[in-house]
Amino acid sequence: MALVLTLLVGLSAALASLGSVSLLLVLWGGLKTVFPLDAALAGGLLLGGLAWALARRRRLGSLPMVLAGIGLALVWALTAGGDPYRLGLGAFWNGLAPLTAGGLAGLAAAYGLREVRLERPDSEAWELVGLRLLRGAAFLVFVFMVVFPFWAMVAASLKPRAEFLADPANLGLPLSVFSEGFWPGLKKMLVGYREVLVTFKFLRYIGNTAFVSISTMFITLALAVLGAYAVARLEFRGRALMERAILLTYMFPAIVLAIPLYTIFTQLGLRDNLIGLIIVYLAQTLPVALYMLRSYFETIPASLEEAGLIDGCSRFEVIWRITLPLALPALASVGLYVFMIAWNEFLFAFMFLDTPELFTLSRGMVGLNSQEVPRQFLMAGAVIVTVPIMILFFWFEKYLVGGLTAGGVKG
């Protein structure tokens, strides 16, 4: 039974490592290569057998397994004429790829079998190893699934059309541009960004989007603080009912609002207008912002405010001097969340804006999605829309995650 377990681990480790290396070679190197299935099956079985033999003597360590993996890869490389991945590069690179893959396979197998009692594997050992294999596979799949499109977006934005069409599977950076020196090369690489920012006026759209998002953020915060404070601290009839109503608006489909708002805003002259857009975004973010802030205000002890009231401060002074400073983390969460919604919004920007001078980034992107515009520019635009959100996200991740979980960003 122990042998079956180690063979299973060896096979999985070899398949995952050799396959990943092959995929990376294709995606980053732009190389013609193969998926070495036979080698992975044979090598995996051998690796598993070796692990079984090693584990009979003493505890299985990582180093022997890595060495075993490299050794097996060496045999593989030699039998395949020194170039098992059929890369057709120099001897060094041809050899490095399979050896790396083999070493990784050994490491993965050692991790899979770590601290498993192989003398008499019980059901717990099987479950443990099964879970590790599943986790390992899931890690690979999830990381690839999340990183791949974003990496592709950046890589494609840096590549001229001809170079991309020559090999669409190659998502490596076009390093050949640097043959003319660093600065000219960089300039050539970033030509898509220059075109999009200047010729397609994305500089202007960035300004418009920032104006809309920042205005929405501050107005929402100001109004939501007032409303949330009222709901959290003051007594009035219909408080419970109002909370329900706020949550209900959360379920409203935007498309149902689209036709009447289009109609009404057209007749009021608010349609092709950034102020009109801000008003719509306010309505979309205010209920959730109010709800989130209210929950936070309720965690602040009322006694702090009562002290202020007794000292003769007015309600608004109390909010400004006592409540808001205490609620700064919540304000950051809610503010970021509102900013993100406004920045990313597509439907209303798309329907409302006709004048190119008023376009937000989402609206401007639609113009890049045409047969006449190179895909390189479309991807450069996508990067430009995404990067500010990503920077904010990494800077304030703690707050944003707080905001997301507290409000559950509608999406």
Partner 1 sequence: MPQGLKAREARLAFWMLLPTFSIVIAIVILPVIANFWIAFKPIQLGDLRPPRPAVRESVRAQPAAVGEALVVRYRVQNRTDNPITWARIEDALPPGLTPAELPEACRVQGAKIVCELASGLEPGQTVNLTLRFTAGPAYFAAGAPYPRDTRPAVESRAPNPILARPFTLDNFRAVLSDPDFWPMLKVTLAYTVFGTVLSILLGLFAAQLLSPPFAGRQVLRGLFLFPYVAPVIAVAFTWVFLLDPFAGTINALLLKYGFVHDPIPFLSQRYWPVQFFGMTVQVPLALTMVILFEGWRYFPFAFLFILARLQAIPSELYEAARVDGAGIWASFRFVTLPQVVGILATLFLLRFIWTFNKFDDIFLLTGGAAGTETITIKVYDFAFARANLGQGAAQAVVLFAILALFLIVYFRYAPKGEV
Q: Give which of 389, 390, 380, 391 is closest to 197, Cα–Cα.
A: 380
Amino acid at site 365:
M
Amino acid at site 148:
F
| Residue tagged 């057709």 (tokens) | 88
| Minimum distance from residue 142 beta carbon to partner 1 (Å) | 6
Query: Do 30 and 110 meet the contact criterion of CB atoms below 8 Å apart?
Result: no
Query: Do 107 and 69 meet the contact criterion of CB atoms below 8 Å apart?
Result: yes
Does 375 contact partner 1 by CB under 8 A?
A: yes
Q: Write the interaction track for partner 1 spanning residues 217-256; mark x where CB under 8 A is met and - where it is not.
A: ------xx-xx-xxx--xxxx----x---x--x-xxxxxx
Query: Do 98 and 49 meet the contact criterion of CB atoms below 8 Å apart?
Result: no
Q: Restricting to residues 284-303, which ones interact with partner 1 according to CB under 8 A?
A: 286-287, 290
Query: Looking at 19-27, 39-47, 69-77, 295-303, which segment touches partner 1 (CB under 8 A)?
Result: 19-27
| Minimum distance from residue 290 beta carbon to partner 1 (Å) | 6
| 47, 49, 54, 55: CA torsion to nearest 10 | 110
Q: Write the interaction track for partner 1 spanning residues 54-93; mark x where CB under 8 A is met and - where it is not.
A: ----------------------------------------
Query: Looking at 10-18, 51-59, 81-89, 336-344, which segment touches partner 1 (CB under 8 A)?
Result: 336-344
d(CA 5, CA 176): 47
Category of 181 on φ-ψ map: left (φ > 0), alpha (ψ -120 to 50) or beta: left
How many residues bind partner 1 (CB under 8 A)? The answer is: 101
- Half-sphere exposure at residue 322, Cβ-oriented, CA atoms within 13 angstroms: 20
- DSSP one-letter code for 327: T
Q: Restricting to residues 175-194, which ones interact with partner 1 according to CB under 8 A?
A: none
| Minimum distance from residue 180 beta carbon to partner 1 (Å) | 26
Q: Write the interaction track for partner 1 spanning residues 123-162; mark x where CB under 8 A is met and - where it is not.
A: xx--xx--x---x--xx--xx-xxx-xx-xx--x------
| Minimum distance from residue 124 beta carbon to partner 1 (Å) | 6
Does 167 contact partner 1 by CB under 8 A?
A: yes
Q: Which is nearer to partner 1, 70 or 196 (CB)?
A: 196
